[in-house]
Amino acid sequence: MSSGGYEKYREDVISKLGELASQHEGEKGLIHTASYDRARELAEAFPDNAIRHTRNTEFGLSGVIDEWQSSDKDMLFSPSATDGVDLPSDMCRWQALVKVPYPQPSNPRVRFLLDERGDWNWYYEVTCQEIQQSVGRGVRSKEDYCTYYVLDYSFMDVVREASVPDWSRKAVVL
């Protein structure tokens, strides 16, 4: 999904998300997208089972989460639910990461660290931390559980290059 792979694999991602939704029927699933446009596109593939977070949502992400939780729709698509979201117990039993959240190379700070300093270790560590944060949205205690799926093969680069804690490795289903 990274490096322009979305267009090539869009239908595969939709198919996989459909399989996951069927596998987790009746359970709430949070799908982390790379952008609001991607959230819209993917949610449109599931008109009867999805809610999406939009930029112009009147009540923000918390309002969208409230709407999702009170609806019969299982899937919530959002580009901004990787941190600051509390979904314990049945509020979220599965998650899918559509695209690995690498820092944007167009950001001047990121460009400086990569081009001038060659700090690729930082790049992968920050990415790993962001993924770990997103895993935690649906696992809020020792007794809680939430299956986490990664649909972007470039996740393997993060696993190879970053210091991924054992608990995090065990939490992810590839």
The closest of 5, 25, 31 to 148, measured between CA atoms, is: 31
Helix axes 5-23, 36-44, angle to 10 degrees: 50
Cα separation, 9 vs 12, whole angstroms: 5
Query: What pLDDT, on the 0 to 100 scale, is given for residue 165?
Result: 85
User: How far out from the chain centre does Cα 161 lie?
Assistant: 20
pLDDT at 3: 60
Q: pTM of the entire structure?
A: 0.91
Q: How many angstroms separate the CA atoms of 95 and 137, rounded?
A: 9
What pLDDT shows up at residue 79? 94
pLDDT average per 10 residues of sequence, the chain (174 residues): 74 97 97 94 96 82 94 96 94 96 93 92 95 92 92 92 84 68
Domains held by the chain: number: 1
First to last CA, the chain: 14
Residue range of the domain that includes 46: 5-173
Specify the CATH number for the domain of residue 124. Answer: 3.40.50.300
Q: What is the DSSP letter of 112?
A: I
What's the pLDDT tens digit per position in 29-72? 999 999 999 999 999 999 999 999 988 766 789 999 999 999 99
